[in-house]
Structure 1
Amino acid sequence: MALPALRIDTHAHVFARSLPMAAARRYTPAYDVTVEEYLARLDAHGMSHGVLVQPSFLGSDNSYLLQAIARAPQRLRGIAMIDAQCEDTQLQALHQGGVVGVRFNLVGGAPLPDFQGAWRDTLTRVAALGWQVEIHREAGDLPLVLEPLLKLGLKVVVDHFGRVDPALGVDDPGFRYLLSTGASRQVWVKLSAQYRNGGSEGGAHFAGQAWPLLRQHLGTDRLLWGSDWPHTQHESMTSYADSWRRFETLVSDEADRRRITGETAAQLFQFA
Protein backbone atom coordinates (compact mmCIF):
# COMPACT_ATOMS: atom_id res chain seq x y z
CA MET A 1 0.00 0.00 0.00
CA ALA A 2 1.37 3.42 -0.96
CA LEU A 3 1.75 5.80 1.94
CA PRO A 4 -0.08 9.13 1.94
CA ALA A 5 1.82 12.40 1.66
CA LEU A 6 4.20 13.02 4.55
CA ARG A 7 2.10 13.58 7.68
CA ILE A 8 3.48 12.41 11.01
CA ASP A 9 1.78 11.82 14.35
CA THR A 10 4.57 12.26 16.91
CA HIS A 11 2.88 11.01 20.09
CA ALA A 12 0.92 7.81 20.70
CA HIS A 13 1.10 4.74 22.95
CA VAL A 14 0.55 1.00 22.71
CA PHE A 15 0.33 -1.33 25.71
CA ALA A 16 -1.31 -4.43 27.18
CA ARG A 17 -2.65 -5.10 30.66
CA SER A 18 -0.70 -8.36 30.84
CA LEU A 19 2.69 -6.63 30.62
CA PRO A 20 4.87 -6.15 33.72
CA MET A 21 4.08 -2.76 35.23
CA ALA A 22 6.50 -0.34 36.89
CA ALA A 23 6.33 -0.53 40.68
CA ALA A 24 6.09 3.25 40.97
CA ARG A 25 3.28 4.39 38.68
CA ARG A 26 0.42 6.87 38.76
CA TYR A 27 -1.87 4.92 36.42
CA THR A 28 -2.69 1.32 35.51
CA PRO A 29 -4.54 0.70 32.23
CA ALA A 30 -7.76 -1.30 32.21
CA TYR A 31 -7.62 -2.06 28.48
CA ASP A 32 -5.17 -2.99 25.70
CA VAL A 33 -4.15 -1.02 22.60
CA THR A 34 -2.24 -2.77 19.83
CA VAL A 35 0.05 -1.47 17.12
CA GLU A 36 -2.43 -2.82 14.55
CA GLU A 37 -5.13 -0.57 16.03
CA TYR A 38 -2.76 2.37 15.88
CA LEU A 39 -1.77 1.72 12.27
CA ALA A 40 -5.46 1.53 11.39
CA ARG A 41 -5.96 5.00 12.86
CA LEU A 42 -3.00 6.35 10.92
CA ASP A 43 -4.53 4.92 7.74
CA ALA A 44 -8.00 6.26 8.50
CA HIS A 45 -6.70 9.80 9.04
CA GLY A 46 -4.18 10.06 6.22
CA MET A 47 -1.07 9.77 8.38
CA SER A 48 2.06 8.47 6.72
CA HIS A 49 4.08 7.76 9.89
CA GLY A 50 3.76 7.59 13.66
CA VAL A 51 5.87 7.79 16.81
CA LEU A 52 5.23 5.43 19.72
CA VAL A 53 6.16 6.76 23.15
CA GLN A 54 6.89 4.31 25.96
CA PRO A 55 4.14 4.66 28.61
CA SER A 56 5.56 5.51 32.02
CA PHE A 57 3.62 2.67 33.67
CA LEU A 58 5.72 0.17 31.71
CA GLY A 59 8.97 1.63 33.04
CA SER A 60 12.23 0.91 31.24
CA ASP A 61 11.22 -2.46 29.78
CA ASN A 62 10.89 -1.37 26.15
CA SER A 63 10.39 -4.84 24.66
CA TYR A 64 6.71 -4.29 23.75
CA LEU A 65 7.61 -0.97 22.14
CA LEU A 66 10.32 -2.61 20.03
CA GLN A 67 7.96 -5.41 18.98
CA ALA A 68 5.41 -2.82 17.89
CA ILE A 69 7.91 -0.84 15.81
CA ALA A 70 9.09 -4.06 14.17
CA ARG A 71 5.59 -4.55 12.72
CA ALA A 72 6.10 -1.47 10.51
CA PRO A 73 9.74 -0.36 10.82
CA GLN A 74 9.66 2.06 7.89
CA ARG A 75 6.58 3.74 9.25
CA LEU A 76 7.16 3.87 13.00
CA ARG A 77 9.75 5.30 15.38
CA GLY A 78 9.98 5.03 19.15
CA ILE A 79 10.76 7.07 22.24
CA ALA A 80 12.01 4.80 25.03
CA MET A 81 12.39 5.04 28.78
CA ILE A 82 15.78 4.02 30.16
CA ASP A 83 17.62 3.80 33.46
CA ALA A 84 20.48 6.09 34.40
CA GLN A 85 22.99 3.26 34.09
CA CYS A 86 21.78 2.08 30.68
CA GLU A 87 24.60 0.25 28.92
CA ASP A 88 25.86 0.93 25.41
CA THR A 89 24.61 -2.45 24.21
CA GLN A 90 21.08 -1.54 25.34
CA LEU A 91 21.23 1.87 23.67
CA GLN A 92 22.48 0.34 20.44
CA ALA A 93 19.72 -2.31 20.49
CA LEU A 94 17.12 0.42 20.96
CA HIS A 95 18.69 2.49 18.18
CA GLN A 96 18.65 -0.44 15.77
CA GLY A 97 15.05 -1.11 16.76
CA GLY A 98 13.86 2.31 15.61
CA VAL A 99 14.17 4.30 18.85
CA VAL A 100 15.22 7.92 18.36
CA GLY A 101 14.99 9.34 21.86
CA VAL A 102 14.26 8.87 25.55
CA ARG A 103 11.42 10.22 27.66
CA PHE A 104 11.22 11.48 31.21
CA ASN A 105 7.63 11.52 32.47
CA LEU A 106 7.97 13.73 35.53
CA VAL A 107 4.45 15.00 36.12
CA GLY A 108 2.70 14.68 39.46
CA GLY A 109 5.59 15.69 41.67
CA ALA A 110 8.05 13.05 40.50
CA PRO A 111 11.58 13.77 41.78
CA LEU A 112 13.76 15.52 39.22
CA PRO A 113 16.61 13.40 37.83
CA ASP A 114 20.18 14.48 38.48
CA PHE A 115 21.01 15.26 34.86
CA GLN A 116 24.42 16.71 35.73
CA GLY A 117 25.34 13.79 37.99
CA ALA A 118 23.97 10.25 37.74
CA TRP A 119 22.54 10.79 34.26
CA ARG A 120 25.36 12.81 32.71
CA ASP A 121 27.33 9.98 31.09
CA THR A 122 24.26 8.23 29.70
CA LEU A 123 22.80 11.47 28.33
CA THR A 124 26.12 12.27 26.67
CA ARG A 125 25.85 8.96 24.84
CA VAL A 126 22.20 9.70 24.00
CA ALA A 127 23.32 12.97 22.43
CA ALA A 128 26.02 11.19 20.44
CA LEU A 129 23.33 8.96 18.89
CA GLY A 130 21.52 12.06 17.65
CA TRP A 131 18.56 11.26 19.88
CA GLN A 132 16.20 13.68 21.57
CA VAL A 133 15.16 13.88 25.21
CA GLU A 134 11.41 14.23 25.68
CA ILE A 135 10.15 15.96 28.83
CA HIS A 136 6.71 15.75 30.43
CA ARG A 137 6.65 18.06 33.44
CA GLU A 138 4.49 20.87 34.77
CA ALA A 139 5.55 24.21 33.26
CA GLY A 140 6.63 25.75 36.54
CA ASP A 141 9.57 23.35 36.79
CA LEU A 142 10.70 23.54 33.16
CA PRO A 143 13.66 25.86 33.92
CA LEU A 144 15.00 23.32 36.44
CA VAL A 145 14.56 20.44 33.99
CA LEU A 146 15.61 22.00 30.70
CA GLU A 147 18.66 24.05 31.69
CA PRO A 148 20.97 21.09 32.46
CA LEU A 149 19.81 19.27 29.32
CA LEU A 150 20.49 22.29 27.13
CA LYS A 151 23.95 22.64 28.69
CA LEU A 152 24.68 19.07 27.62
CA GLY A 153 23.83 20.05 24.04
CA LEU A 154 20.77 17.80 23.83
CA LYS A 155 17.75 18.20 21.60
CA VAL A 156 14.80 18.61 23.97
CA VAL A 157 11.13 17.99 23.17
CA VAL A 158 8.54 19.36 25.59
CA ASP A 159 5.24 17.48 25.73
CA HIS A 160 1.68 18.83 25.55
CA PHE A 161 2.22 22.59 25.20
CA GLY A 162 4.39 22.54 28.34
CA ARG A 163 1.66 21.50 30.81
CA VAL A 164 0.76 24.94 32.16
CA ASP A 165 -1.20 25.76 35.29
CA PRO A 166 -4.72 26.14 33.80
CA ALA A 167 -5.41 29.10 36.07
CA LEU A 168 -2.43 30.95 34.58
CA GLY A 169 -2.47 29.78 30.96
CA VAL A 170 0.02 31.65 28.79
CA ASP A 171 0.94 33.80 31.80
CA ASP A 172 2.41 30.77 33.58
CA PRO A 173 6.06 31.75 34.20
CA GLY A 174 7.08 28.28 33.06
CA PHE A 175 5.39 28.80 29.71
CA ARG A 176 7.09 32.18 29.35
CA TYR A 177 10.40 30.46 30.05
CA LEU A 178 9.56 27.86 27.42
CA LEU A 179 9.06 30.62 24.86
CA SER A 180 12.47 32.04 25.76
CA THR A 181 14.19 28.73 24.91
CA GLY A 182 13.31 29.21 21.25
CA ALA A 183 16.52 31.19 20.80
CA SER A 184 18.58 28.10 21.68
CA ARG A 185 17.21 26.18 18.65
CA GLN A 186 17.50 23.07 20.84
CA VAL A 187 13.85 22.92 21.96
CA TRP A 188 10.76 21.53 20.22
CA VAL A 189 7.21 21.67 21.62
CA LYS A 190 4.39 19.22 20.93
CA LEU A 191 1.04 20.81 20.11
CA SER A 192 -0.70 17.82 21.64
CA ALA A 193 -3.26 16.95 24.32
CA GLN A 194 -4.88 20.36 24.70
CA TYR A 195 -7.16 18.75 27.31
CA ARG A 196 -4.22 18.21 29.67
CA ASN A 197 -4.00 21.99 30.04
CA GLY A 198 -7.45 22.72 31.48
CA GLY A 199 -9.94 20.19 30.12
CA SER A 200 -11.74 20.22 26.78
CA GLU A 201 -12.89 23.83 26.64
CA GLY A 202 -10.23 25.37 28.88
CA GLY A 203 -7.47 23.52 27.07
CA ALA A 204 -8.72 24.67 23.68
CA HIS A 205 -8.86 28.27 24.89
CA PHE A 206 -5.30 28.05 26.19
CA ALA A 207 -4.08 26.43 22.96
CA GLY A 208 -5.62 29.25 20.95
CA GLN A 209 -3.60 31.79 22.94
CA ALA A 210 -0.44 29.69 23.04
CA TRP A 211 -0.18 28.84 19.34
CA PRO A 212 0.71 32.30 17.98
CA LEU A 213 3.25 32.79 20.78
CA LEU A 214 4.87 29.42 20.11
CA ARG A 215 4.94 30.11 16.38
CA GLN A 216 6.55 33.49 16.98
CA HIS A 217 9.20 32.38 19.48
CA LEU A 218 10.03 28.85 18.27
CA GLY A 219 8.85 28.73 14.65
CA THR A 220 7.11 25.95 12.78
CA ASP A 221 10.45 24.13 12.41
CA ARG A 222 10.39 23.57 16.19
CA LEU A 223 6.72 22.61 16.63
CA LEU A 224 5.17 19.14 16.35
CA TRP A 225 1.74 17.55 16.40
CA GLY A 226 0.80 14.42 18.31
CA SER A 227 -2.55 12.68 18.73
CA ASP A 228 -1.80 11.48 22.29
CA TRP A 229 -3.82 8.38 21.34
CA PRO A 230 -5.37 6.54 23.18
CA HIS A 231 -5.68 9.63 25.42
CA THR A 232 -5.03 7.79 28.70
CA GLN A 233 -7.25 9.03 31.55
CA HIS A 234 -9.10 11.28 29.04
CA GLU A 235 -10.55 8.60 26.75
CA SER A 236 -14.15 9.80 27.12
CA MET A 237 -13.19 13.40 26.39
CA THR A 238 -11.70 13.02 22.93
CA SER A 239 -10.76 10.69 20.05
CA TYR A 240 -8.13 10.44 17.34
CA ALA A 241 -10.38 12.28 14.89
CA ASP A 242 -11.12 15.00 17.45
CA SER A 243 -7.41 15.44 18.15
CA TRP A 244 -6.71 16.05 14.46
CA ARG A 245 -9.71 18.37 14.05
CA ARG A 246 -8.54 20.48 16.97
CA PHE A 247 -5.10 20.77 15.39
CA GLU A 248 -6.62 21.82 12.05
CA THR A 249 -8.71 24.43 13.85
CA LEU A 250 -5.76 25.68 15.86
CA VAL A 251 -3.26 25.81 12.98
CA SER A 252 -5.56 27.09 10.26
CA ASP A 253 -2.84 27.75 7.68
CA GLU A 254 -2.27 24.64 5.58
CA ALA A 255 1.38 25.49 4.89
CA ASP A 256 2.05 25.68 8.65
CA ARG A 257 0.33 22.34 9.21
CA ARG A 258 2.33 20.73 6.42
CA ARG A 259 5.60 22.02 7.85
CA ILE A 260 4.80 20.91 11.41
CA THR A 261 3.57 17.41 10.54
CA GLY A 262 5.92 16.94 7.60
CA GLU A 263 9.45 18.29 7.32
CA THR A 264 9.89 19.29 10.98
CA ALA A 265 8.77 15.94 12.36
CA ALA A 266 10.54 13.92 9.66
CA GLN A 267 13.89 15.49 10.44
CA LEU A 268 13.65 15.25 14.23
CA PHE A 269 12.34 11.67 14.31
CA GLN A 270 14.72 10.52 11.57
CA PHE A 271 12.18 9.62 8.93
CA ALA A 272 13.95 11.87 6.39
Structure 2
Amino acid sequence: MTVTIFGKTPGWLDWYADPTQPAFQLPAGAVDAHCHVFGPGRVFPYAPERKYTPCDASKDQLFALRDHLGFARNVVVQATCHGADNGAMVDALRSSGGLARGVATVRPDITDDQLSDLHEAGVRGVRFNFVRRLVDAAPRDDLERVVERIAPLGWHVVIYFEAADLADLSDFILSIPVTVVVDHMGRPDVTKSADGSEFAQFLKLMRARPDLWCKVTCPERLSASGPPALDGERQPYRDVVPFARRVVEEFPDRVLWGTDWPHPNLTDHMPDDGLLVDFIPHIAPATDLQQRLLVDNPMRLYWPDAVSGAAG
Protein backbone atom coordinates (compact mmCIF):
# COMPACT_ATOMS: atom_id res chain seq x y z
CA MET A 1 0.00 0.00 0.00
CA THR A 2 1.67 3.20 -1.19
CA VAL A 3 -0.10 5.85 0.87
CA THR A 4 0.95 8.43 3.36
CA ILE A 5 -0.55 8.61 6.82
CA PHE A 6 -1.05 12.38 6.60
CA GLY A 7 -1.66 14.17 3.31
CA LYS A 8 -1.85 12.95 -0.24
CA THR A 9 0.38 10.29 -1.77
CA PRO A 10 3.87 11.79 -2.39
CA GLY A 11 4.52 12.90 -5.97
CA TRP A 12 0.88 13.11 -6.98
CA LEU A 13 -0.32 16.48 -8.16
CA ASP A 14 -3.13 18.67 -6.88
CA TRP A 15 -5.90 19.53 -9.31
CA TYR A 16 -5.62 22.59 -11.53
CA ALA A 17 -6.99 25.43 -9.40
CA ASP A 18 -7.51 28.07 -12.11
CA PRO A 19 -8.73 26.43 -15.33
CA THR A 20 -8.99 28.57 -18.42
CA GLN A 21 -12.28 29.41 -20.09
CA PRO A 22 -12.87 26.86 -22.88
CA ALA A 23 -12.87 28.12 -26.44
CA PHE A 24 -15.45 25.44 -27.28
CA GLN A 25 -18.96 26.35 -26.21
CA LEU A 26 -20.77 23.34 -24.79
CA PRO A 27 -24.31 22.67 -25.98
CA ALA A 28 -27.10 23.62 -23.59
CA GLY A 29 -27.69 20.92 -21.00
CA ALA A 30 -24.23 19.33 -21.33
CA VAL A 31 -23.33 16.66 -18.76
CA ASP A 32 -19.91 16.02 -17.24
CA ALA A 33 -20.46 12.27 -17.12
CA HIS A 34 -17.32 11.24 -15.23
CA CYS A 35 -16.00 13.15 -12.23
CA HIS A 36 -15.29 12.53 -8.56
CA VAL A 37 -15.41 14.08 -5.11
CA PHE A 38 -12.73 13.35 -2.51
CA GLY A 39 -13.54 14.02 1.11
CA PRO A 40 -12.90 16.49 2.57
CA GLY A 41 -11.10 13.90 4.66
CA ARG A 42 -12.02 15.48 7.97
CA VAL A 43 -15.72 15.01 7.08
CA PHE A 44 -15.63 11.90 4.91
CA PRO A 45 -12.54 9.89 5.94
CA TYR A 46 -10.66 7.91 3.31
CA ALA A 47 -10.85 4.12 3.43
CA PRO A 48 -8.21 2.40 5.57
CA GLU A 49 -7.60 -0.14 2.77
CA ARG A 50 -7.04 2.53 0.08
CA LYS A 51 -3.98 2.34 -2.15
CA TYR A 52 -3.61 6.11 -2.46
CA THR A 53 -4.54 9.27 -0.61
CA PRO A 54 -5.83 12.08 -2.83
CA CYS A 55 -6.00 15.78 -2.18
CA ASP A 56 -9.39 16.93 -0.93
CA ALA A 57 -11.79 17.88 -3.74
CA SER A 58 -15.18 18.90 -2.42
CA LYS A 59 -18.65 19.00 -3.90
CA ASP A 60 -18.63 22.82 -3.82
CA GLN A 61 -15.41 22.91 -5.82
CA LEU A 62 -16.86 20.41 -8.30
CA PHE A 63 -20.02 22.46 -8.77
CA ALA A 64 -17.97 25.63 -9.20
CA LEU A 65 -15.99 23.91 -11.96
CA ARG A 66 -19.24 22.72 -13.56
CA ASP A 67 -20.49 26.29 -13.78
CA HIS A 68 -17.14 27.70 -14.94
CA LEU A 69 -16.85 25.25 -17.82
CA GLY A 70 -20.51 25.52 -18.84
CA PHE A 71 -21.88 22.10 -17.87
CA ALA A 72 -25.41 21.74 -16.54
CA ARG A 73 -25.10 18.38 -14.75
CA ASN A 74 -22.60 15.88 -13.33
CA VAL A 75 -22.25 12.14 -12.93
CA VAL A 76 -20.15 11.57 -9.81
CA VAL A 77 -18.25 8.27 -9.77
CA GLN A 78 -17.22 6.70 -6.47
CA ALA A 79 -13.45 6.63 -6.14
CA THR A 80 -11.45 3.71 -4.76
CA CYS A 81 -9.91 5.91 -2.05
CA HIS A 82 -13.31 5.95 -0.33
CA GLY A 83 -13.87 2.20 -0.71
CA ALA A 84 -17.50 1.17 -0.34
CA ASP A 85 -18.34 4.14 1.86
CA ASN A 86 -20.30 6.24 -0.62
CA GLY A 87 -20.94 9.05 1.85
CA ALA A 88 -19.02 11.83 0.07
CA MET A 89 -20.51 10.97 -3.31
CA VAL A 90 -24.06 10.70 -1.93
CA ASP A 91 -23.67 14.01 -0.10
CA ALA A 92 -22.73 15.64 -3.41
CA LEU A 93 -25.78 14.14 -5.11
CA ARG A 94 -28.14 15.28 -2.37
CA SER A 95 -26.67 18.80 -2.53
CA SER A 96 -27.02 19.09 -6.32
CA GLY A 97 -30.74 19.81 -6.54
CA GLY A 98 -31.21 16.87 -8.89
CA LEU A 99 -28.41 17.97 -11.20
CA ALA A 100 -26.10 15.06 -10.34
CA ARG A 101 -26.32 11.30 -10.59
CA GLY A 102 -23.93 8.79 -9.06
CA VAL A 103 -22.05 5.57 -9.65
CA ALA A 104 -21.41 3.71 -6.39
CA THR A 105 -19.19 0.98 -5.03
CA VAL A 106 -21.25 -1.66 -3.24
CA ARG A 107 -20.58 -5.04 -1.69
CA PRO A 108 -22.74 -8.15 -2.11
CA ASP A 109 -24.02 -7.92 1.47
CA ILE A 110 -25.53 -4.46 1.02
CA THR A 111 -29.09 -4.37 2.37
CA ASP A 112 -32.20 -3.58 0.38
CA ASP A 113 -32.73 -0.47 2.48
CA GLN A 114 -29.21 0.73 1.73
CA LEU A 115 -29.73 0.17 -1.99
CA SER A 116 -33.02 2.03 -1.82
CA ASP A 117 -31.34 4.97 -0.08
CA LEU A 118 -28.64 5.10 -2.76
CA HIS A 119 -31.25 5.02 -5.52
CA GLU A 120 -33.27 7.78 -3.88
CA ALA A 121 -30.13 9.90 -3.65
CA GLY A 122 -29.53 9.53 -7.39
CA VAL A 123 -27.22 6.54 -7.79
CA ARG A 124 -27.81 4.73 -11.08
CA GLY A 125 -24.84 2.39 -11.41
CA VAL A 126 -22.01 0.51 -9.72
CA ARG A 127 -18.36 0.45 -10.67
CA PHE A 128 -16.15 -2.63 -11.00
CA ASN A 129 -12.46 -1.74 -11.01
CA PHE A 130 -9.93 -4.20 -12.45
CA VAL A 131 -6.90 -1.86 -12.46
CA ARG A 132 -4.48 -3.73 -10.23
CA ARG A 133 -2.48 -0.72 -9.06
CA LEU A 134 -5.67 0.81 -7.65
CA VAL A 135 -7.56 -2.11 -6.12
CA ASP A 136 -7.26 -5.72 -5.11
CA ALA A 137 -9.26 -8.00 -7.36
CA ALA A 138 -12.76 -8.87 -6.17
CA PRO A 139 -13.98 -12.46 -6.64
CA ARG A 140 -16.15 -12.78 -9.74
CA ASP A 141 -18.85 -14.47 -7.64
CA ASP A 142 -19.09 -11.33 -5.53
CA LEU A 143 -19.42 -9.14 -8.61
CA GLU A 144 -22.11 -11.38 -10.06
CA ARG A 145 -24.01 -11.15 -6.78
CA VAL A 146 -23.78 -7.36 -6.89
CA VAL A 147 -25.27 -7.40 -10.39
CA GLU A 148 -28.15 -9.55 -9.15
CA ARG A 149 -28.83 -7.01 -6.40
CA ILE A 150 -28.81 -3.92 -8.64
CA ALA A 151 -30.62 -5.32 -11.68
CA PRO A 152 -34.14 -4.77 -10.25
CA LEU A 153 -33.32 -1.08 -9.79
CA GLY A 154 -32.42 -0.65 -13.47
CA TRP A 155 -28.83 0.27 -12.65
CA HIS A 156 -25.88 -0.35 -14.94
CA VAL A 157 -22.29 -1.52 -14.39
CA VAL A 158 -19.31 0.75 -15.06
CA ILE A 159 -16.15 -1.27 -15.64
CA TYR A 160 -12.57 0.02 -15.49
CA PHE A 161 -9.71 -2.00 -16.93
CA GLU A 162 -6.56 -1.65 -18.99
CA ALA A 163 -6.14 -2.83 -22.57
CA ALA A 164 -3.77 -5.64 -21.62
CA ASP A 165 -6.53 -7.24 -19.52
CA LEU A 166 -9.29 -7.12 -22.12
CA ALA A 167 -8.77 -10.67 -23.36
CA ASP A 168 -9.25 -12.06 -19.85
CA LEU A 169 -12.28 -9.88 -19.16
CA SER A 170 -14.20 -10.09 -22.44
CA ASP A 171 -16.32 -13.13 -21.54
CA PHE A 172 -17.19 -11.64 -18.17
CA ILE A 173 -18.15 -8.30 -19.72
CA LEU A 174 -20.34 -10.01 -22.29
CA SER A 175 -22.04 -12.06 -19.58
CA ILE A 176 -23.15 -9.12 -17.41
CA PRO A 177 -26.96 -9.06 -17.73
CA VAL A 178 -27.38 -5.29 -17.37
CA THR A 179 -26.13 -2.34 -19.39
CA VAL A 180 -22.34 -1.92 -19.20
CA VAL A 181 -20.29 1.28 -19.52
CA VAL A 182 -16.53 1.04 -20.14
CA ASP A 183 -14.31 3.71 -18.60
CA HIS A 184 -11.74 5.57 -20.72
CA MET A 185 -12.03 3.38 -23.86
CA GLY A 186 -10.46 0.50 -21.96
CA ARG A 187 -7.21 2.50 -21.71
CA PRO A 188 -5.75 1.79 -25.16
CA ASP A 189 -2.06 2.08 -25.91
CA VAL A 190 -2.15 5.22 -28.07
CA THR A 191 1.42 4.72 -29.27
CA LYS A 192 -0.08 2.02 -31.48
CA SER A 193 -2.48 2.55 -34.37
CA ALA A 194 -6.18 3.15 -33.83
CA ASP A 195 -6.59 0.85 -36.84
CA GLY A 196 -4.39 -1.85 -35.33
CA SER A 197 -5.27 -5.27 -33.99
CA GLU A 198 -5.18 -4.32 -30.32
CA PHE A 199 -7.78 -1.57 -30.48
CA ALA A 200 -9.74 -3.70 -32.94
CA GLN A 201 -10.43 -6.10 -30.08
CA PHE A 202 -12.07 -3.33 -28.09
CA LEU A 203 -14.16 -2.24 -31.07
CA LYS A 204 -15.18 -5.87 -31.58
CA LEU A 205 -16.39 -5.97 -27.98
CA MET A 206 -18.42 -2.80 -28.53
CA ARG A 207 -20.04 -4.32 -31.61
CA ALA A 208 -20.87 -7.53 -29.75
CA ARG A 209 -23.22 -5.78 -27.29
CA PRO A 210 -25.73 -3.15 -28.38
CA ASP A 211 -26.02 -2.05 -24.73
CA LEU A 212 -22.27 -1.58 -24.19
CA TRP A 213 -21.38 2.10 -23.76
CA CYS A 214 -17.98 3.81 -23.76
CA LYS A 215 -16.57 6.88 -22.06
CA VAL A 216 -14.21 8.64 -24.46
CA THR A 217 -12.48 10.23 -21.50
CA CYS A 218 -9.10 10.83 -19.88
CA PRO A 219 -6.83 11.81 -22.78
CA GLU A 220 -4.47 13.20 -20.13
CA ARG A 221 -4.00 9.65 -18.81
CA LEU A 222 -3.68 7.97 -22.19
CA SER A 223 -1.53 10.44 -24.10
CA ALA A 224 2.14 9.86 -24.83
CA SER A 225 2.51 13.28 -26.46
CA GLY A 226 1.10 15.15 -23.47
CA PRO A 227 -0.60 18.53 -23.20
CA PRO A 228 -0.15 21.38 -25.68
CA ALA A 229 2.83 23.69 -25.49
CA LEU A 230 2.24 27.01 -23.77
CA ASP A 231 2.13 28.93 -27.05
CA GLY A 232 -1.57 29.43 -27.60
CA GLU A 233 -2.09 25.97 -29.09
CA ARG A 234 -5.40 24.57 -27.85
CA GLN A 235 -5.46 21.12 -29.41
CA PRO A 236 -4.26 18.92 -26.54
CA TYR A 237 -3.45 15.24 -26.56
CA ARG A 238 -3.36 14.79 -30.34
CA ASP A 239 -2.36 11.12 -30.15
CA VAL A 240 -5.61 10.18 -28.38
CA VAL A 241 -7.86 11.84 -30.96
CA PRO A 242 -7.93 8.99 -33.54
CA PHE A 243 -9.03 6.46 -30.92
CA ALA A 244 -11.76 8.57 -29.37
CA ARG A 245 -13.02 9.85 -32.72
CA ARG A 246 -13.25 6.30 -34.06
CA VAL A 247 -15.48 5.31 -31.13
CA VAL A 248 -17.64 8.44 -31.31
CA GLU A 249 -18.25 8.07 -35.03
CA GLU A 250 -18.99 4.33 -34.97
CA PHE A 251 -21.09 4.30 -31.79
CA PRO A 252 -22.56 7.82 -31.61
CA ASP A 253 -25.50 6.81 -29.40
CA ARG A 254 -23.38 4.93 -26.84
CA VAL A 255 -20.64 7.38 -25.94
CA LEU A 256 -20.18 9.65 -22.93
CA TRP A 257 -17.65 12.33 -22.00
CA GLY A 258 -16.43 13.67 -18.67
CA THR A 259 -13.61 15.66 -17.15
CA ASP A 260 -12.40 13.02 -14.62
CA TRP A 261 -11.90 15.95 -12.23
CA PRO A 262 -9.93 16.13 -9.93
CA HIS A 263 -7.67 13.80 -11.93
CA PRO A 264 -6.20 11.56 -9.22
CA ASN A 265 -2.95 9.62 -9.51
CA LEU A 266 -1.21 11.94 -11.98
CA THR A 267 2.49 12.71 -11.53
CA ASP A 268 3.77 14.27 -14.78
CA HIS A 269 1.26 17.07 -15.38
CA MET A 270 -2.16 18.19 -14.19
CA PRO A 271 -4.58 19.00 -17.01
CA ASP A 272 -6.27 22.34 -17.42
CA ASP A 273 -9.96 21.42 -17.48
CA GLY A 274 -10.67 24.23 -19.93
CA LEU A 275 -8.28 22.60 -22.40
CA LEU A 276 -9.93 19.24 -21.80
CA VAL A 277 -13.24 20.75 -22.93
CA ASP A 278 -11.45 22.02 -26.03
CA PHE A 279 -10.52 18.40 -26.78
CA ILE A 280 -14.19 17.61 -27.47
CA PRO A 281 -14.65 19.08 -30.98
CA HIS A 282 -11.57 17.17 -32.17
CA ILE A 283 -13.20 13.83 -31.29
CA ALA A 284 -16.78 14.86 -32.12
CA PRO A 285 -16.41 17.42 -34.92
CA ALA A 286 -20.04 17.54 -36.03
CA THR A 287 -22.69 19.41 -34.06
CA ASP A 288 -25.01 16.40 -33.95
CA LEU A 289 -22.22 14.21 -32.54
CA GLN A 290 -21.49 16.79 -29.85
CA GLN A 291 -25.17 16.94 -28.93
CA ARG A 292 -25.41 13.17 -28.54
CA LEU A 293 -22.09 12.82 -26.71
CA LEU A 294 -22.71 15.60 -24.21
CA VAL A 295 -26.48 15.86 -23.81
CA ASP A 296 -28.67 13.19 -25.38
CA ASN A 297 -26.71 10.10 -24.36
CA PRO A 298 -25.99 10.95 -20.69
CA MET A 299 -29.54 12.21 -20.23
CA ARG A 300 -30.95 8.97 -21.67
CA LEU A 301 -28.75 6.85 -19.39
CA TYR A 302 -28.94 8.86 -16.15
CA TRP A 303 -32.12 10.99 -16.39
CA PRO A 304 -34.45 8.86 -18.55
CA ASP A 305 -37.55 10.24 -16.86
CA ALA A 306 -36.60 13.77 -17.85
CA VAL A 307 -36.03 12.62 -21.44
CA SER A 308 -39.34 10.75 -21.67
CA GLY A 309 -41.14 13.68 -20.06
CA ALA A 310 -39.72 16.09 -22.61
CA ALA A 311 -40.65 13.72 -25.43
CA GLY A 312 -44.19 13.45 -24.12
TM-score (norm 1): 0.88
User: Which of 16, 19, 41 is residue 65 of structure 2 equivalent to?
Assistant: 41
* Partners of 2:276 and 2:225 in 1: CA distance: 11
SS at match of 1:57: helix
* Superposed displacement of residue 189, structure 1: 0.9
Counterpart of 2:263 in structure 1 is 231
1:170/1:114 CA distance change after superposition, 3 Å? farther
User: 1:11-43: CA deviations, max 9, x gaps?
Assistant: 1111123333223333211x3211111111111
Counterpart of 2:10 in structure 1 is none
**2:46 corresponds to 1:21:** yes
Given residue 258 of structure 2, which amino acid in structure 1 is its aligned partner? G
Given residue 28 of structure 1, which amino acid in structure 2 is its aligned partner? T
SS at match of 2:110: coil
User: 1:144-167: CA deviations, max 9, x gaps?
Assistant: 334324323221111112112344
Kindly report which structure 2 residues correspond to 1:95-174, keeping only aligned pairs within 5 A, or say none: 95-108=119-132, 110-115=135-140, 117-168=141-192, 170=194
Given residue 213 of structure 2, which amino acid in structure 1 is its aligned partner? W
User: Which of 287, 302, 307 is residue 254 of structure 1 equivalent to?
Assistant: 287
* Partners of 1:233 and 1:112 in 2: CA distance: 19
**2:291 corresponds to 1:268:** no
Counterpart of 1:179 in structure 2 is 203
In 2, are the aligned partners of 1:141 and 1:174 still within 8 Å (CA)?
no
User: 1:66-87: CA deviations, max 9, x gaps?
Assistant: 1111111310001111113222
Counterpart of 2:252 in structure 1 is 220
Larger radius of gyration: 2
SS at match of 2:194: helix
In 1, are the aligned partners of 2:35 and 2:259 still within 8 Å (CA)?
yes
Counterpart of 2:218 in structure 1 is 193
User: Which of 6, 31, 44 is residue 8 of structure 1 equivalent to?
Assistant: 31
Task: Answer 1 or 2: higher relative contact order, Cα 8 Å, separation at least 6.
Answer: 2
TM-score (norm 2): 0.77
> Which residues of structure 2 form unaligned runs of 5+?
1-26, 228-235, 308-312
* Superposed displacement of residue 171, structure 1: 6.2
1:250/1:9 CA distance change after superposition, 3 Å? same
Q: How many residues align?
A: 266
Identity of paired residues, percent? 30
In 2, are the aligned partners of 1:161 and 1:194 still within 8 Å (CA)?
no
SS at match of 2:247: helix
* Partners of 1:45 and 1:243 in 2: CA distance: 10
User: 1:45-67: CA deviations, max 9, x gaps?
Assistant: 22111111111110000011111
User: 1:176-221: CA deviations, max 9, x gaps?
Assistant: 222112231121111111021134538923422213421354x111
* Partners of 1:61 and 1:169 in 2: CA distance: 40
* Partners of 2:59 and 2:186 in 1: CA distance: 27
How big is the alpha-carbon RMSD for the aligned residues of Structure 1 and Structure 2? Answer: 2.3
* Partners of 1:234 and 1:179 in 2: CA distance: 27
> Which residues of structure 1 form unaligned runs of 5+?
none
In 1, are the aligned partners of 2:248 and 2:284 still within 8 Å (CA)?
no
* Partners of 2:294 and 2:52 in 1: CA distance: 29
SS at match of 1:102: strand
In 1, are the aligned partners of 2:75 and 2:103 still within 8 Å (CA)?
yes
1:58/1:75 CA distance change after superposition, 3 Å? same
